[in-house]
Amino acid sequence: MTTQSIQVALIQQQKSADVKQNIADCFKHIRQAANNGAQLVLLQELHNSLYFCQTEDVNCFDLAETIPGPSTKALGELAKELNIVIVASLFEKRATGLYHNTAVVLESDGSLAGRYRKMHIPDDPGFYEKFYFTPGDLGFNPIQTSLGKLGVLVCWDQWYPEAARLMALAGADLLLYPTAIGWDPEDDKAEQERQLNAWTQVQKGHAVANGLPVLVTNRTGFEASADRQASGIQFWGNSFIAGPQGEILAQASTDQEEILTATIDLKRSESVRRIWPFLRDRRIDAYEDLNRRFRD
């Protein structure tokens, strides 16, 4: 059963090569968020480590772990202790030679409520994810929790309206995007501003088109590339929480670690969908070409 309103918190952090310290810092921030009243905590993409996908390195597969595994066990225990729901992002080792970029949801009783395997996998300079991750095979299915149905997606998924729509059609109450995205430091300020604005606007569009709140958590700080010829990534932070009309409820800074909080009124989705009945007016009889790569 969906609650009427929930207090949410997004953890925006800078990461280091020290995985144990990253995890300790993450848990400290989760505790702080819960102490401040958060019922749902969303962590950023691949929060246990640096963003290792800047290069293709087989040794990085050592960072992967099984699900269930050490991280889900520890996060589950923390969720139970604090009586909160935690959405985390892990490098999943499904089998030898088979890995996914996977979000997990830990219920407030400590159980693993569900997982989502990232469906859209980028392969761009500095974001060589196809080397590491097999595309997800679990579909776009919200995860039922005590706080409602969570439409969990991951980073590159956030650019695709189809993913958000399918989560909405499956009954999601919220859309959540753990993220790791940033600038090439060699891009000029105007290009950086265009990228950041596009990233924010497209996700606000998902909120509007589906009448759902959207939660987006990004990392911050500069991470150098192991490739000395590359520029590294300046992660742009700007984690945000938007309501079902795309209204910004809270937004973080570009370059600071933050715990971003807001109260989500889940009743607003009902009100918004009554005045903007986009789901009613969809022409499902005319969308068959969406199954094609391109109309030649």
Provide the annotated active-site residues.
45, 118, 155
Cβ neighbours, 10 Å, residue 259: 18
CB of 2 closer than 8 Å to CB of 32: no
CB of 157 closer than 8 Å to CB of 103: no
Rounded CA separation 46/178 (Å): 8
